[in-house]
Amino acid sequence: MGKIYDVLVIGGGIVGTAVLDRLSRYNLDCLLVEKSDDVASFSTRANSGIVHAGYDCEPNTLKAKFNVLGNALLWKDAEDLGVKHLKCGSIVVAKDGQEAQIKRLEEKAKANGVEVEIWDREKTLAFEPNIADDISMCLYAKSAGVVSPYQLAIAYADRAILNGAKIELEAEVKSIVKKADNFEVNTSKGRFEAKIILNCAGENGVAINEMIGAEYYETSYRRGDYFILDNTQRKFVNTVIFPLPTAAGKGILVAPTADGNVIYGPTSIQTVKDDTASSLDSLDEIRRNVPLSYKNPTFNKCIRIYSGLRTIIGHDFVIGESKVVNNFIMAIGICSPGLTSAPAIAEHLKDLVVSKLGGQVKENIVIKLPENKGLLELDEKDLNDLIAKDDAWGRIVCRCEKVTEAEVVRAIHSPLPATTVDAVKRRTRAGMGRCQGGFCGPRVMEILSRELGVPLDKVRKGNGEDSNIAVCKVKEVE
Ligand SMILES: Cc1cc2nc3c(=O)[nH]c(=O)nc-3n(C[C@H](O)[C@H](O)[C@H](O)COP(=O)(O)OP(=O)(O)OC[C@H]3O[C@@H](n4cnc5c(N)ncnc54)[C@H](O)[C@@H]3O)c2cc1C
């Protein structure tokens, strides 16, 4: 008989990786299966990266509870994991005549236990000079900020591996069979058995439920499109600027990113599963809405547009054990504020698993990841010392983001190795600058080819066999 895992997590988004991270501290055998070539490759890759304070969730919902708890846990996790973050606060801006809506948010904040303040125009301007001319007040929340969502998920995955968990990438779950005591999970990479399943499959959450006859939930999807601007714009944005929320969501915001860019977006377009293609109408909606809260939008500094998909089940998250299938636990319908909530959801699911299986915290677990500084964070002496040991530190691969060859090599040999150009990009930022990989792309390909021992035309951009970049050699040199 093959190995039987204690827990098998389906899905390597922020929820799956966070829960694997928490479980890996216990003497439990844990496996995460992810259908893509990397973790953080769906909703977790493309969102606003806001660590929400939690003032606008309906009180007494799972969203309110996990958002507020998650906010505090996330700041600590980001610190321990060395993931870029900025606790810059957030403001919801309003005009004359909208006082009642700001007051309502303040009441919700109180009910959710979130500290907020209402500021007049003068105080708002002193904090954020570029608000639109007719903004007369704001609701300020100091516990909000921004984090790199994909780097957080990657860091959770790395730490989980260092603490003994296993991750199988390109392992899409195709079917699940309930046996006497365990589940048999059939994936595109083989069969795995486990005592408990955690369904963290994001947009496929309900499809996974259906495989095992667990609860069915009506699901809807909302796409959010964004403009991302180059880092010259960062100096104009100090905080996260929200408009007043509407029934469709938190509205189109202006925010710094943890890596020093600025984003405008997202929209909230009712759509279908898998749709992450930005539309012109949606981008026009952003163009129309940004100036309502932010005075000087600079759309000409846009370096890329992107979009992400929210998976929505009713009005709240679905978290807990199935009432139909024992030991089948769900964390699905995790739309916004799912990134912020993930560490708290993970603690909750870990407690649920430990209450079922038992389990002791292991000795010598890793909490702080080794500091992985990049060229821009190193001082001159440290950089020279590194170059003396390894001259790859002296070779710049990405000119826009100043990423060295050594950083790319480190990403390829990290606990959860980067094996594609996009996976290197998410770990190092090579390709995220103004030229969007025009310069560094071929160099990253060469390094991947060398380090992984694969021919250049087999190096892939991202997920899937058909995502290789080079098709064949144009010139054969004998
Ligand atoms: C536009 C937008 C803006 C947002 N902004 C914010 C924000 O600012 N702050 C915030 O807190 N939250 C925000 N969110 C919400 C947040 O992004 C999500 O809640 C979170 O990413 C959901 O994580 P997840 O792990 O549930 O799903 P995902 O990240 O989608 O992960 C699910 C994983 O399961 C894998 N999978 C699916 N099917 C299978 C299968 N059959 N076998 C194996 N693996 C499978 C997928 O490949 C995927 O990697 C936003 C979301 C969107 C879309």
Q: Can you give the CATH number for the domain in which 428 is found?
A: 1.10.10
Q: Which residues pair with 141 in a beta bridge?
A: 90, 116
Q: Is residue 75 part of a domain?
A: no
Atom number of ligand 1 nearest to Cα 50: 8
Q: Which residues pair with 120 in a beta bridge?
A: 137
3-state secondary structure of 8: strand
> Candidates 48, 189, 191: which one to mutate for ligand 1, based on the most atoms within 8 Å of Cβ?
48
**Maximum separation of any 2 CA atoms in the chain, in Å:** 76
Q: Is residue 115 part of a domain?
A: yes
Q: Are residues 307 and 231 in the same domain?
A: yes
Residue 181: CB partners within 8 Å, gap ≥ 6? Answer: 195
Q: Are residues 37 and 173 in the same domain?
A: yes
- List pLDDT tens digits, range 314-336: 999 999 999 999 999 999 999 99
Return d(Cα 266, Cα 306) in angstroms, integer: 9
Unique residue bearing structure tokens 């991270």:
21
End-to-end CA distance of the chain: 52
CA of 156 to the centre of ligand 1 (A): 15
**Per-residue confidence (pLDDT) for residue 1, from 0 to 100:** 56
Return d(Cα 317, Cα 335) in angstroms, integer: 7
Atom number of ligand 1 nearest to Cα 339: 11
Atom number of ligand 1 nearest to Cα 201: 34
Return d(Cα 433, Cα 237) in angstroms, integer: 18
Q: Are residues 131 and 174 in the same domain?
A: no
Q: Is residue 428 part of a domain?
A: yes
Return d(Cα 223, Cα 213) in angstroms, integer: 28
**Per-residue confidence (pLDDT) for residue 70, from 0 to 100:** 98
Mean pLDDT of each 10-residue bin along the chain, 478 residues long = 92 98 98 97 97 97 98 98 97 97 97 98 98 98 98 98 98 96 96 98 98 98 97 96 91 97 97 94 97 96 96 97 98 98 98 97 96 92 96 96 97 98 97 92 96 94 85 74
Of the candidates 348, 308, 309, 312, the residue with the CA atom closest to the CA atom of residue 333: 312
3-state secondary structure of 109: helix
End residue of a domain, out of 296, 325, 357: 357
Unique residue bearing structure tokens 């928490």:
22
Q: Is residue 299 part of a domain?
A: yes
Q: Are 195 and 182 in contact (CB under 8 A)?
A: yes
Q: Are residues 230 and 136 in the same domain?
A: yes
CA geometry: angle at 305 spanning 301 and 307, to 5°?
A: 150
CA of 339 to the centre of ligand 1 (A): 8
**CA distances for 344 relative to 19, 27, 121, 392, 439, angstroms:** 9, 21, 35, 40, 40
Atom number of ligand 1 nearest to Cα 309: 53
Q: Is residue 65 part of a domain?
A: no
CA of 310 to the centre of ligand 1 (A): 7
**Per-residue confidence (pLDDT) for residue 435, from 0 to 100:** 92
> Candidates 339, 340, 349, 426: which one to mutate for ligand 1, based on the most atoms within 8 Å of Cβ?
339
Return d(Cα 32, Cα 198) in angstroms, integer: 9
CA of 28 to the centre of ligand 1 (A): 25
Return d(Cα 200, Cα 324) in angstroms, integer: 18
Return d(Cα 235, Cα 238) in angstroms, integer: 7
**CA distances for 176 relative to 170, 291, 310, angstroms:** 17, 50, 25
Radius of gyration of the chain from its Cα atoms, rounded to whole angstroms: 23
- Which amino acid residue places its CA nearest to atom 28 of ligand 1? 13
CA of 418 to the centre of ligand 1 (A): 20
Q: With residue 221 as reference, give the H or E element that holds it.
A: strand 220-229
Domain count, the chain: 3
Q: Is residue 73 part of a domain?
A: no
Q: Which of 52, 85, 315, 348 is catalytic?
A: 52
Return d(Cα 144, Cα 159) in angstroms, integer: 25
β-pair type (269-271, 220-229): antiparallel
Supply the CATH number for residue 187's domain: 3.50.50.60
DSSP line for 136-202: EEEEEETT-EEE-HHHHHHHHHHHHHHTT-EEESS--EEEEEE-SSSEEEEETTEEEEEEEEEE--G
Show the domain range for 388.
375-467
Distance of CA 11 to the CA centre of its chain: 13
- Which amino acid residue places its CA nearest to atom 2 of ligand 1? 47
Q: Are residues 424 and 384 in the same domain?
A: yes
CA of 456 to the centre of ligand 1 (A): 31
Q: Are residues 174 and 245 in the same domain?
A: no
Unique residue bearing structure tokens 């938190």:
250
Q: Are residues 206 and 337 in the same domain?
A: yes
Return d(Cα 171, Cα 33) in angstroms, integer: 6
Return d(Cα 154, Cα 14) in angstroms, integer: 9
Give the predicted TM-score (pTM) of the model. 0.97
Atom number of ligand 1 nearest to Cα 67: 11
Q: Are residues 135 and 180 in the same domain?
A: no
Active site residue 348: no
Q: Are residues 383 and 259 in the same domain?
A: no
Distance of CA 335 to the CA centre of its chain: 12
- Which amino acid residue places its CA nearest to atom 13 of ligand 1? 336
- List pLDDT tens digits, range 55-88: 999 999 999 999 999 999 999 999 999 999 999 9
**Per-residue confidence (pLDDT) for residue 111, from 0 to 100:** 98
Q: Are residues 413 and 452 in the same domain?
A: yes
Q: Are residues 230 and 112 in the same domain?
A: yes
The tokens for 386 are: 């590194």
- Pocket residues for ligand 1 (CB within 6 Å)? 10-16, 33-36, 41-44, 47-50, 52, 172-173, 200-204, 224, 266, 308-310, 334-340
Q: Is residue 366 part of a domain?
A: no
The tokens for 188 are: 């595109």
β-pair type (253-256, 318-321): unpaired
- Which amino acid residue places its CA nearest to atom 46 of ligand 1? 11
**Burial environment of residue 317 by CB neighbours within 10 A (0 to 12, 13 to 18, 19 or more):** buried
CA of 248 to the centre of ligand 1 (A): 18
Q: Is residue 353 part of a domain?
A: yes
Q: Are residues 387 and 420 in the same domain?
A: yes
